[in-house]
Structure 1
Amino acid sequence: MTKILKLLKIPVSIDTMKPEIMIRAAEMGVDLINDVSGFRSKEALDFLKAMKKTRIGFCIMHMQGNPQNMQDSPRYGDVVSEVEFFLQRKVEEFRRFGISDDRILIDPGFGFGKTSQHNLSLLKEIPRLSRICPLLVGLSRKRIISELCKRKSKPADRLGGSLAMALWSAMQGASVVRVHDVKETKEMITVYKALGGDNIFSGVDNEKRT
């Protein structure tokens, strides 16, 4: 795996909640570690403390509950404020560990302990959330697309909705969109820019961050 990483000319991310996998991934030279639980465990925090002098990036995701129960009637008083508070607190924690903002992505966790209405509320507040740190949005092929279109569909049949979600997110201030259909998404962005669209993936200037 280490040899493969050296040959690749693109950033490589690993998705794990397990600190032992994080350690191994760091040793192998991955570029980004994504933890859907938001690096909440003591072991994950201990790992982060040892990463101060590396250049590895981290994606902090919000999830209510755990993967086994996260969609069992998720409830919030104010989903945007609660997700914002969690992500802001985690970013501040990373900063205390000596990890700079240019190594951090935040992810509101669309579909992870959220109803479709929760997801829509968060989508509408991308500009607000992106003021915390560079924002990653992952809505590709998710069930919310089928629900918005009011028709049942398989994940692979949600391309149109996935492209709309990606473009909207990028226009609202997301720095990264995670997608399945890379070729089609790149084509959409290329055409959009050719037509004069330049207000995408702009994020927020560092001096405007909270």
Structure 2
Amino acid sequence: MLWKTSTRTLDLSRHAIIMGILNATPDSFSDGGLHQDLSPALAHARKMIAEGAEIIDIGGESTRPSSYPISADEEIKRTIPIIAAVRSEWRGLISIDTTKASVARAALTAGADIVNDISGLTADPMMSSVCVDSDCGIVIMHLQGTPADMQKNPHYDDVLAEIKAYFQQRFGTLTHLGIDPERLCFDPGIGFGKNLEHHLTLLKNLDTLAPAGRPLLLGVSRKSFISKIIPAPDPADREAATIALTAFARQKNVMLHRVHSVKSNLEALRTVEALL
């Protein structure tokens, strides 16, 4: 299985890859405010790279439940200096976590290789054009509602069937626009418009979700649904559960993992892979 990005084609046939989270925000649920300024953001990127992250995912707008969007100008102000700084000293992969076309365009110009859009390229009508005009990798996530209202009684008649259908629809639409299917990756959107039952159903069926031949990205790191399984109101106390989910997901052939703690999750992946 291959995933093409602007500067590198990832071979996902054997070893799973870690995408390290770098939130340049004051209000993200787990690390808001820690990496908002350039110096601590760059130090955190260096730490994740040293621990084995092959992708650094940089976001400037919190999409936690009940959050509201910020302006594109503010998002650019928060993210572009960090992208430029990381790119100046590292040739690995950089992802921009955004739903806004102008932010994605600025990030790609600054050196990003991947657009990670929680709306699946639907929130901004120009986002598909930005991706068509680039050769970036693309992450298509499933989201019901918006971050402001997504956790207010989410409902599905059949969560598996609906997310599979959404992925197939996005796959067909984007490839029809001329995007190479090998540039597409899919994310079921854990924590985005689902309740605990939905999450558990999706996690049990991870190996059935993505369109044929396309990789799945999983982002479960420290998310609040974990606190409905174990008593962990503090996101930092959800790391052990995150590692368990990472290991489980690798057995379901998930090859891309978006996490806060790189070293522990990468060690879990390599241990599982030694047994497969």
- Distance (Å, rounded) in 2 between the aligned partners of 1:130 and 1:104: 10
1:190 is paired with a residue whose SS is helix
Residues 48 and 97 in structure 1, CA contact (< 8 A), matched pair in contact too: no
Corresponding pairs, count: 192
Residues 74 and 115 in structure 1, CA contact (< 8 A), matched pair in contact too: yes
Moved more, 121-130 or 108-117: 121-130
Residues 226 and 232 in structure 2, CA contact (< 8 A), matched pair in contact too: no
* Structure 2 partner of 1:29: 111
* Structure 2 partner of 1:165: 245
Q: Give how far 1:101 is off.
A: 2.6
- Distance (Å, rounded) in 2 between the aligned partners of 1:181 and 1:73: 30
More strand by share: 2
* Structure 1 partner of 2:126: 43
Instruction: Tell me how large the CA RMSD over aligned residues is.
Output: 1.6
Amino acid at match of 1:197: L
Q: Give how far 1:3 is off.
A: 5.5
* Structure 2 partner of 1:121: 201
Higher RCO (CA 8 Å, separation ≥ 6 residues):
2
* Structure 1 partner of 2:227: 146
1:134 is paired with a residue whose SS is coil
- Distance (Å, rounded) in 2 between the aligned partners of 1:181 and 1:91: 31
Task: Output the TM-score relative to the length of structure 1.
Answer: 0.85
* Match among 185, 190, 194 for residue 105 of structure 1: 185
Amino acid at match of 1:102: E
Q: Give how far 1:5 is off.
A: 0.8
Alignment of 1:4-15 (within 5 A): 4-15=86-97
Residues 150 and 193 in structure 2, CA contact (< 8 A), matched pair in contact too: yes
After superposition, the C-alpha distances for 1:85-111 in whole angstroms (9 at most, x for unaligned) are: 111111112211222232111001001
Residues 118 and 140 in structure 2, CA contact (< 8 A), matched pair in contact too: yes
Question: Identical aligned pairs, as a percentage?
Answer: 33
Residues 130 and 173 in structure 1, CA contact (< 8 A), matched pair in contact too: no
- Distance (Å, rounded) in 1 between the aligned partners of 2:96 and 2:144: 21
List alignment gaps of at least 5 residues for structure 2: 1-80
1:157 is paired with a residue whose SS is helix
Is 1:197–2:269 an aligned residue pair?
no
Task: Output the TM-score relative to the length of structure 2.
Answer: 0.66
- Distance (Å, rounded) in 1 between the aligned partners of 2:132 and 2:92: 26
Residues 136 and 178 in structure 1, CA contact (< 8 A), matched pair in contact too: yes
After superposition, the C-alpha distances for 1:111-143 in whole angstroms (9 at most, x for unaligned) are: 100001111111111111134421001111112
